A and B are shown apart, each in its own frame.
Chain A
């Protein structure tokens, strides 16, 4: 079955530190891959997406993600975290076309001063 796994439920980092959020997918072929962010009380907002081509994808708010086919991973990174990055982050995947998007269970990021 198609699935998206985010192994870390909760992560705490210090402001200014680097961040990496993990995401693994299980699909028959390389899916379309997404990272969304949800701030408290808000809907989800797209950070970045990967369809094909360059495996390092740049997104908004200084985030980037790297697609690694051999590891079935699409990890999200940021070199220096800001307090405003505290939110919940969702990895998602789809086979495209009329296939639905499958979301991971989310990773809640806490940023400490």
Chain B
């Protein structure tokens, strides 16, 4: 299995631009998670999908952030407009069961976003 796939691995953009991060979870996994990691705030859950439906989006910082999961094999996290404080590493993770809180999460390699 290829594991969780994220693209791009690195993204450098200018403030105000739209950024789209992509994730392909492990085939057969029912839960998908988007995290943001920064030195200041550590690892934060942004949003959690189960069977393509958002279950908990309380971690989405503000309206500039949106996430979609149109099917079981693809998810996007979009930031529009981007700001320098959005610079971070964004991780996607997936887990097999519907009990996202109890199951092992498999993390992708992350997307390092730099907003100038």
Interface residue ranges, A against B (CB under 8 Å)? 32, 34, 36, 41-46, 49, 51, 90, 94-101, 103-106
**Which residue in B55, B104, B107 is a CB contact (below 8 Å) of A43?**
B107
Which residue of chain A is the closest to B102 with respect to CB atoms? A96
A-facing residues in B67-115 (Cβ within 8 Å)? 91, 93, 99-102, 104-110
Given contacts A103-B42, A103-B43, contact A98 B100 (CB under 8 A): yes
Residue among A43, A51, A104 with max Cβ neighbours from chain B (10 Å): A43
Q: Is the CB of A100 within 8 A of B100?
A: yes
Interface residue ranges, B against A (CB under 8 Å)? 4, 42-43, 45, 48, 50, 55-56, 59, 91, 93, 99-102, 104-110
Q: Is the CB of B102 within 8 A of A94?
A: yes
Q: Is the CB of B102 within 8 A of A97?
A: yes
Given contacts A98-B55, A101-B45, contact A46 B101 (CB under 8 A): no
Which residues in B have their C-beta under 8 angstroms from that of A42? 109-110
**Which residue in B42, B102, B106, B107 is a CB contact (below 8 Å) of A32?**
B102
Q: Is the CB of A97 within 8 A of B101?
A: yes
Which residues in A have their C-beta under 8 angstroms from that of B43? 44, 90, 103, 106
A52 → chain B closest CB, angstroms? 11
Residue among A42, A44, A45, A51 with max Cβ neighbours from chain B (10 Å): A44
Which residues in A have their C-beta under 8 angstroms from that of B59? 100
Which residues in B have their C-beta under 8 angstroms from that of A101? 45, 100-101, 105
